[in-house]
Amino acid sequence: MKKLLLLAVILSVVSIDLWAQEKPKVAFDYELTSNTYFDNRENDGPSVPFTPSMTLFGQALTPMVGVSVSNSDITHRFMLGVDATFYFGSSQKPFGRLDKVLAYYRLDKKFSDGSRFRAVGGVFPKTFYEGDYTRAFVSDSSRFVSRNCQGLSFYYEREKFFAEMICNWCGMKEGESRERFQIWSAAQYDFFPWMSLGYAFSFDHLACSDLVSNVADNHLLRPYLAFDLSSLVPFQKLYADIGAYVAYQRNREYETLYIPTGVELNTEIRNWNVGVRNTLYVGNN
């Protein structure tokens, strides 16, 4: 974590030095993100142990304001906002649940070869995540409920390639709360406009609380091969990918280690903004 903070400071110092070569432009900046989530789950008793029958229906609003300072190839942004959620049918007042105050610094750098770099630090939306993190990494409902990251994000992109790394410090040892942090990483290279090779990785570390001494690790790696044939067919989207999962799950108190593996095939077809996505998974839980 200290190395990541040091890298962010160095990048800021370097960018400020380059900045002095050109008079910067200062401007008011703003963002407004709206997200609606509807999920109806009807399950047949204990045969589906992962989630009870329920309906999740909610709306999230994230207004943000700030200042951007930029020249021809570097932009600095300082943003402040709130993340509010309203669950339909709830007794709370509309958007009465203030989930988090967001505050972050963002650096965007463009290079002469056309590549670009982005660094974000603070409390920021997970919309900055660019990697293909499937539902094995995070469920649809978790994407809606846990929308923000507390930490650092680094992203690099050039022609046919991108890579990113995110550190999310999402838990502090405080009473019943356990210390927890996550490291996410992804990269992808496009061999052709219709074929890509990439990976997604998550490192999830769950440490102690004042009441629990156990430490658990849950890591997941997914290399994949993707085919996007949208430009070759008269559909809005025709897509398929095949990937393998390798997980590392360890309970340090009981010294138990589980390494589940599996293979997953995803297919999607869409036209006129209406589509069908299917997932076939063969392997361990």
DSSP string, the chain: -HHHHHHHHHHHHHHHHHHTTS--EEEEEEEEEEEEEEEEE---GGGSTT--SEEEEEEEEEEEEEEEEE-SSEEEEEEEEEEEEEETT-SSPTT-EEEEEEEEEEEEEE-TTS-EEEEEEEEEEGGG--S---TTTS-HHHHHH--EEEEEEEEEEETTEEEEEEEEEEE--BTTBPPEEEEEEEEEEEEETTEEEEEEEEEEEE---SS----EEEEEEEEEEEEE-GGGSSSSEEEEEEEEEEEEEEETTTTEEE--EEEEEEEEEEETTEEEEEEEEEE--
What pLDDT is stored for residue 216 in this prediction? 83
What pLDDT is stored for residue 179 in this prediction? 79
Whether residue 6 is predicted with pLDDT greater than 70 in this model: the reply is no
Whether residue 173 is predicted with pLDDT greater than 60 in this model: the reply is yes
Mean pLDDT of 227-245: 92
What pLDDT is stored for residue 129 in this prediction? 92
Nearest to 128 by CA among 178, 88, 77: 77
Mean pLDDT of 64-83: 93
Mean pLDDT of 158-175: 88
Mean pLDDT of 189-211: 89
17-70 pLDDT per residue, tens: 544 556 789 999 999 988 888 888 777 666 556 677 778 888 888 999 999 999
pLDDT grade, residue 5 (50/70/90)? low
Whether residue 15 is predicted with pLDDT greater than 70 in this model: the reply is no
Q: What's the chain's Rg over C-alpha atoms?
A: 21
Whether residue 257 is predicted with pLDDT greater than 60 in this model: the reply is yes
What pLDDT is stored for residue 44 in this prediction? 67
